[in-house]
Structure 1
Amino acid sequence: MAVTEAERRAMSRALELAVLGPRGINPQVGAVILSPAGDVLAEGWHRGAGTPHAEVDALSQLAPGDARGATAVVTLEPCNHTGRTGPCAQALIEAGIGRVVYALDDPGAQSGGGADRLRAAGIEVDGGEQADASHALIDGWLTVQRLGRPEIIVKWAQSLDGRAAAADGTSQWITGAAARADVHRRRADSDAIVVGTGTVLADDPALTARDGERLLPHQPVPVVIGTRETPSAAAVHRHPLSPLFYATHDLHEVVADLRERGVQRVFVEGGPTLASAFIAEGLADRVLAYIAPVLLGGDRLALADIGVPTINAARRLTIDEWVPLGADLLAIARFTHEEGDD
């Protein structure tokens, strides 16, 4: 059966509802229940880990039997596993739903397969409606499912000759105002911003996302990695969100914990030591290199040792975009993995 106009409108509405839920361990999902005549019976969305999924949230607004023969329109394939809540596919079956229209397949090894379970119960299922829009909405969550960890973006600013600071250690400001404003916008697109204790002690950064002096609506959680103590008067303690401190050099341990906290995108903005460590450990997915048309010379390189003893071991990247920012240039690149790598 082809997707009807009423179902298309319901999917657009479900995508609007999904945005009301928080980003985190679980995906943002919206659901709309339609009567056999195409009228909206109920709406729902997932409100966070441990709460009912979108389909169950919508069904809970109906009296027993009211969903019999109805159509459930959902932005993600109904799940097929028991976690903190039961499988949504089974809830739809028990409610007597007669048809399910969903946007995107669930990629989870355990949670996927809901569509097959529904079909086996005699329910008509149609997938793929507005899949691109659903994918864009939960892109961060999908990346976590694919990588097994958050997406990690490593950022630095450098001179044209690859230096991060002058001989005396000063680095503010290598790039201009347009580049700095771009950094803040990208901070706001992330769930966590990571620096090392060396950066905290040297620069005392606020680690906020700002438009001038105004805080942007979404703030990344500040994360400080390193065994040196952060002073109680450090600016990071005045961040709108409580900072996370990791007294370790084990980046895999840090990243695993961030995933458990629901972090989907990490913005690494420490100095050369931390940036190099993430790259050396294979924990970098993209690079943002802000390049200023200045020459500094000296040995304060934007990157330190990343485990490349010979040219054949070079970390290869693919440039996705060159972005002019005033007098500066931003290179957005992703790491090119060899066939068979994760």
Structure 2
Amino acid sequence: MVTQPELAAMHRALELAARGPASRNPQVGAVLLSPAGDVLAEGWHRGAGTPHAEVDALAQLPAGAARGATAVVTLEPCNHTGRTGPCALALIEAGVARVAYALDDPGEHEGGGAARLRAAGVDVEGGILEPEARAFLAPWLETRRLGRPHVTVKWAQSLDGRAAAADGTSQWITGAAARADVHRRRAASDAIVVGTGTLLADDPALTARDGDALHPHQPVPIVIGARAVPAGARIHDHPHAPLVYATHSLQDVLADLADRGHHRVFVEGGPTLASAFIAAGLADRILAYVAPTLLGGPRVALTDVGVAGITQQRRLTIDRIDRLGEDLLVIASPEGEAD
């Protein structure tokens, strides 16, 4: 039976978790309660190599002070020895009598802490405020499931599949409503990615705007390609310093972004980079903004995506189609992975 002090402590633990840095590791918070329900100590995970939230909270108390206490934690205490020891064991050794947690740890090696605690005689209850904890950790959980950040690939095109006119001009194919939708989705992302070709051709700012103002949350600008970024490029005026990767290994780029805590990656283009992500099987969601116009010419929205014959076509599942002014937004996922 969950008590009111435990519910209040879980709300507080989620607040504490948000203080920790986003990284490849989860953001976790913990609150220790006395048998009477009073708060004894609080803790959160401050980053890779630092004590986990439970151990951080235990460290605030003198030896023996946690005996008989309840530990309220946003994620199942780990059962794994890495840079730090297992939190489940630390709680057992501290004499904690009860552990209340929100979400099971999905890790193959990290999970199992609840079972270890129960085997040691600790009263354990999971699932407390589970929807809130799952929503809070959604980006990290998706990265764990995929083994890399979640990637959205976006492009705008004419009805005949062109991303630009024959002379390379592309502003604007779509209308104001579609462009506002793009900025909203940028703001919901951790990082926004372009290739050096698009950077040199269009000189994009890569900011997320709310009307004429900058959105409070800005994705970190990412540039992939061997060509240098000009000193006067608008990207240098971005609130975040750009990360530049002079590599063709998209996997290496995504691995580094995951280490930096960038779990949701928004690929803006251009056609070469978008096609490379799709060809590598790294596109988890497709956003195709389609305008009712015809351009003709060679500037197609996608180039080579690794399809040599019809039997190799990359089938997609249409998740939804939205009307944005005169334009359409088609949202699709790789077949079998609809979101």
TM-score range, shorter-chain basis? over 0.9
1:134 is matched with which residue?
Answer: 133
- Is 2:43 aligned against 1:17? no
Classify 1:260/1:23 alpha carbon distance in 2 versus 1 (closer, same or farther; 3 Å): closer
2:167 is matched with which residue?
Answer: 168
Whole-angstrom CA distance in 1 between matches of 2:54 and 2:297:
60
What does residue range 139-150 of structure 1 map to in structure 2 within 5 Å?
A: 139-150=138-149
1:301 is matched with which residue?
Answer: 300
Please report how far the alpha carbon of residue 323 of structure 1 lies from its aligned counterpart in structure 2 after TM superposition. Answer: 2.6
Whole-angstrom CA distance in 2 between matches of 1:323 and 1:12:
36
Please report how far the alpha carbon of residue 337 of structure 1 lies from its aligned counterpart in structure 2 after TM superposition. Answer: 4.5
The DSSP-based 3-state class of the residue aligned with 1:269 is strand
What does residue range 235-246 of structure 1 map to in structure 2 within 5 Å?
A: 235-246=234-245
Please report how far the alpha carbon of residue 272 of structure 1 lies from its aligned counterpart in structure 2 after TM superposition. Answer: 0.7
1:201 is matched with which residue?
Answer: 200
Greater CA deviation, 37-46 or 225-234? 37-46
Please report how far the alpha carbon of residue 271 of structure 1 lies from its aligned counterpart in structure 2 after TM superposition. Answer: 0.7
Task: Kindly provide the amino acid, as one letter, of the partner of residue 86 in structure 2.
Answer: P
2:65 is matched with which residue?
Answer: 66
Whole-angstrom CA distance in 2 between matches of 1:46 and 1:177:
42
Whole-angstrom CA distance in 2 between matches of 1:293 and 1:51:
54
1:41 is matched with which residue?
Answer: 40
Task: Kindly provide the amino acid, as one letter, of the partner of residue 202 in structure 2.
Answer: D
1:3 is matched with which residue?
Answer: 2
Please report how far the alpha carbon of residue 41 of structure 1 lies from its aligned counterpart in structure 2 after TM superposition. Answer: 2.3
Q: Deviations over 1:105-152 (max 9, x none)?
A: 111122112112212221111112222221111111111111111111
Q: Which runs of 4+ in 1 moved over 3 A?
A: none
Please report how far the alpha carbon of residue 211 of structure 1 lies from its aligned counterpart in structure 2 after TM superposition. Answer: 1.8
Greater CA deviation, 272-281 or 246-255? 246-255
1:51 is matched with which residue?
Answer: 50
Greater CA deviation, 15-24 or 190-199? 15-24
Please, what TM-score do these two structures have when normalized by structure 1?
0.92
- Is 2:191 aligned against 1:192? yes
**Number of residues of Structure 1 aligned to a counterpart in Structure 2:** 337
- After superposition, the CA RMSD in angstroms is 1.8
Q: Deviations over 1:14-42 (max 9, x none)?
A: 22332232322211212222221222222
Runs of at least 5 residues in structure 1 that lack an aligned partner in the other structure: none
Task: Kindly provide the amino acid, as one letter, of the partner of residue 52 in structure 2.
Answer: H
The DSSP-based 3-state class of the residue aligned with 2:156 is strand
2:267 is matched with which residue?
Answer: 268
Whole-angstrom CA distance in 2 between matches of 1:48 and 1:256:
17
Whole-angstrom CA distance in 2 between matches of 1:62 and 1:150:
37
Contact residue 317 and residue 336 of structure 2 kept, 8 A: no
Please report how far the alpha carbon of residue 158 of structure 1 lies from its aligned counterpart in structure 2 after TM superposition. Answer: 1.2
What does residue range 81-96 of structure 1 map to in structure 2 within 5 Å?
A: 81-96=80-95
Please report how far the alpha carbon of residue 240 of structure 1 lies from its aligned counterpart in structure 2 after TM superposition. Answer: 2.0
Runs of at least 5 residues in structure 2 that lack an aligned partner in the other structure: none
The DSSP-based 3-state class of the residue aligned with 1:278 is helix
The DSSP-based 3-state class of the residue aligned with 1:309 is coil
Classify 1:118/1:222 alpha carbon distance in 2 versus 1 (closer, same or farther; 3 Å): same
Greater CA deviation, 39-48 or 182-191? 39-48
Task: Kindly provide the amino acid, as one letter, of the partner of residue 106 in structure 2.
Answer: P
Task: Kindly provide the amino acid, as one letter, of the partner of residue 139 in structure 2.
Answer: G
Task: Kindly provide the amino acid, as one letter, of the partner of residue 165 in structure 1.
Answer: A
Identity across matched positions, percent: 73
- Is 2:289 aligned against 1:326? no
Q: Deviations over 1:149-188 (max 9, x none)?
A: 1111101111222211112211111112222122122112
Please report how far the alpha carbon of residue 4 of structure 1 lies from its aligned counterpart in structure 2 after TM superposition. Answer: 2.5
- Is 2:305 aligned against 1:315? no
Task: Kindly provide the amino acid, as one letter, of the partner of residue 222 in structure 1.
Answer: P
Whole-angstrom CA distance in 1 between matches of 2:8 and 2:323:
39
The DSSP-based 3-state class of the residue aligned with 1:283 is coil
The DSSP-based 3-state class of the residue aligned with 1:190 is coil
Whole-angstrom CA distance in 1 between matches of 2:108 and 2:74:
18
Task: Kindly provide the amino acid, as one letter, of the partner of residue 217 in structure 2.
Answer: H
2:334 is matched with which residue?
Answer: 335
Whole-angstrom CA distance in 1 between matches of 2:20 and 2:327:
37
Whole-angstrom CA distance in 1 between matches of 2:45 and 2:323:
39
1:123 is matched with which residue?
Answer: 122
- Is 2:29 aligned against 1:26? no
Please report how far the alpha carbon of residue 315 of structure 1 lies from its aligned counterpart in structure 2 after TM superposition. Answer: 1.2
Whole-angstrom CA distance in 2 between matches of 1:197 and 1:225:
6
